Structure 1
Amino acid sequence: MTKPLLNVSGAELFEVHGLRFVEGAMPELSAEHRLAMNRVWDETVETNPSAFDGPAVACTGLDWEEPGSLVLSWARATYRYRGLRRVSGASPVSSVFVCVVQPTNDGSLLVGRMSSSTATPDRLQLPGGVLEPPLHGEPLDAAVLRSNAARELVEETGIDTPPQDLNLGLVTRGASGSIGFVFLAPVCRTELVHSRFDALVSSEKALGREPELDQIMLVRSSAELANLGGTAVDYLEPVLRRYAGSAAVRAR
């Protein structure tokens, strides 16, 4: 078993040097639990009509072949399966996500706040989102993770970084069991970060859409989270503790 680098409020951070993915099937649901899950999803859509039951990767198991070498068992699911967390007696499904640490030339890291049109308004997080599975018959691997992370970064911030320029830094495991792959992006000029985000917001609003992030903030330490006006995801504080002002980020 690999020991976490940090454990803050139940969110653990791990350094990973090897990855292996094993695809399997989702655990069978009883008719009662499936009905309850669908009911939760219907309530979600009623609250947020833009909610989309898109494809997602679910974590069905986590193991270590040796220190730093992670084996993730996974299955193809959809967003509605996350509703099992609200179903009494059901085994919750652990989601898998990617996120990006975007440093700037003044030593800050980018934090975004989710807009009111999303399922999690005012949530503070790194640019990122739920991992989408590869096409049927294709493997889940590090290239798929990077592609997802690069897409989330440009969709949420306007910063277009080639997937090959993103380096896997850490893996997080949240209190709810969710697994996150944290990528490091190259340093970007502060002015460019703001101009790309402003251009993205203008473009989305011109199309009649609300951007996923209603605001981006550049922070230098986890201590600043309390003043950002939102609720931080569980991984955010330990990731900022790990990377804010670190030599690893400055050297990128």
Structure 2
Amino acid sequence: MAAMFVAVLQPCDDGRLLVGRMSPTTSAPGRWQPPGGTPEPPPDGAALDLDVFRLHAARELAEETGSDTAADALVPGPVVLDAQGSLGFLFIVPPRPARELRKRKHYGELARTEIASGVDPEFDRVELIGSLSELRALPGPLASCLELVAGRFLGA
């Protein structure tokens, strides 16, 4: 079923890209994707515009990775149409140090907090990928637009 979504491309300072695997309790268990989700409809009479998408993308990044990136730091990236006909608005955020993302500092703290409160994290694993071959080697399905987006981002 076609939908609208936002996603965030989180690079690290060595050029790799963060991807997460959806946990078993989500609507797409095991699927690798960038942080993101379906935007919530604005209140009656409010516009569904780039600012709404940017705010939602920043919220998804925080919820899924624990990142404290401000919404105004998200730069509009490509707009994609995936294999199911869903329209995606992608944003790019400033790079973070690879060691910070590798240690999963933000993600690890977030996951521990959620599990302690009885909530399953949306991502059960995060990885840094530097090439399409690394992406393709991940165990499990990929979000339909991830290979195209990662290929463009990684220069493949």
Interval containing the TM-score (normalised by the shorter chain)? over 0.9
Higher normalized contact order (CA 8 Å, seq sep 6+, divided by chain length): 2
C-alpha distance in 1 between matches for 2:93 and 2:56? 13
Measured against aligned partners, the alpha-carbon deviations of 1:135-171 in whole angstroms (never above 9, x if no partner) come to: 1111111100100000000000001111110011100
C-alpha distance in 1 between matches for 2:151 and 2:136? 14
1:191 maps to 99
In percent, how many aligned pairs have the same letter? 44
2:88 maps to 180
Of 11, 16, 19, 1:108 maps to 16
**Residues matched between the structures, number:** 154
Q: Residue 123 in 1 paired to residue 28 in 2?
A: no
Give yes or no for contact 1:150–1:161 (8 Å, CA) kept in 2: yes
1:234 maps to 144
Q: State the 1:103 CA deviation.
A: 0.3
Q: State the 1:197 CA deviation.
A: 0.6
Q: State the 1:245 CA deviation.
A: 5.2
Give yes or no for contact 1:107–1:245 (8 Å, CA) kept in 2: no
Give yes or no for contact 1:220–1:245 (8 Å, CA) kept in 2: no
5+ residue gaps, structure 2, are none
Q: Residue 203 in 1 paired to residue 117 in 2?
A: no
C-alpha distance in 2 between matches for 1:134 and 1:161? 22
Of 29, 39, 43, 1:135 maps to 43
Give yes or no for contact 2:132–2:147 (8 Å, CA) kept in 1: yes
RMSD of the TM alignment (CA)?
1.2
Moved over 3 A (4+): none
Query: Which amino acid in structure 2 is aligned with residue 225 of structure 1?
Result: L
Q: TM-score, normalised by structure 1?
A: 0.59
User: Any residues of structure 2 matched to 1:19-58 within 5 Å, and which?
Assistant: none
Q: State the 1:191 CA deviation.
A: 2.7
Give yes or no for contact 1:108–1:245 (8 Å, CA) kept in 2: no
